[in-house]
Amino acid sequence: MLVVVVDSATPAVTAAVAALRPDGVEIVAQQVSVDARAHGELLAPGIQSVLAAAGVKPGELAAIVAGLGPGPFTGLRVGLVTAAAFGQSLDIPTYGVCSLDALGWGQPGTVLAATDARRKELYWALYADGERIAGPSVDRPDEVAARATAAGAQRAAGEGAEKYPLGLPAAGPRYPEPAALAALAAERVRGRAPSEPLTPLYLRRPDATLPGQQRKSVLQ
């Protein structure tokens, strides 16, 4: 079964074609461009590029898999709108995966996944042998470090672990990898589960607000 995988929750604009085999996931083609300000310009051409590189026609796809974030409002919205529109145009299901889960996926022990949330904050989650045990949340680096220490985290993955001193060795991927995103959705794809709404994990409101509006804490 062939799926397109997209993620725009971080500065990495990711598009890939993945083949779901009985024994695992194979990435047939992928394109990752790191540019925090060009998600809208890069993602759609990236999808076209990986389809061409894989020699796959859109009609051969079984599903779209998309990273749900958490991530900054504009970039994340680009990825999810693109994925939803692509799925609707092809009449194939869409499935969402928490982007942080792709950082913690397959890693033994207790691991902190952290990405840059801007405003000197981090999006983070904790994993034990690949299973999420806390988060996703958004907090200051010192708060994240304290939570990770209390949970007995042994290392950290993601760009946030490289940008801020968290007291943990940085290991694992810097950005969510398409193979992990595809693997996390594979059971749903193979089981032909109903299509899911791609609900973004914003965790807070966007930076831009209309004059006179007050920001409120939100979960999505």
- Return the beta strands (E) in the chain as ranges: 2-7, 12-21, 24-34, 61-67, 94-97, 110-118, 121-128, 131-139, 155-157
- 2-99+176-190 against 102-163: fold identical: yes
Neighbours of 27 (CB within 10 A): 16
Angstrom distances, CA of residue 135 to CA of 8, 114, 132, 139: 19, 10, 7, 10
What is the token pair recorded at 78?
């680009």
**Residue-level pLDDT at 171:** 87
Domain boundaries, the chain: 2-99+176-190, 102-163
**Residue-level pLDDT at 109:** 96
At the topology level of CATH, where does 2-99+176-190 sit?
Nucleotidyltransferase; domain 5 (3.30.420)
pLDDT tens digits for the chain (220 residues)? 999 999 999 999 999 999 999 989 999 999 999 998 889 999 999 999 999 999 999 999 999 999 999 999 999 999 999 999 999 999 999 999 999 999 999 999 999 999 999 999 999 999 999 999 999 999 999 999 999 999 999 999 999 999 999 999 998 899 999 999 999 999 999 999 999 999 999 997 555 444 554 444 433 3
**Residue-level pLDDT at 208:** 46
Q: At what angle do helices 39-54 and 73-90 cross, to 10 degrees?
A: 40
CB contact burial 84-101 (16+ within 10 A = b; e otherwise): bebbeebebbbbbbbbbb
What is the token pair recorded at 61?
């796809």
Q: Do residues 196 and 68 touch, judged by C-beta distance below 8 A?
A: no
The class that CATH gives domain 102-163 is alpha beta
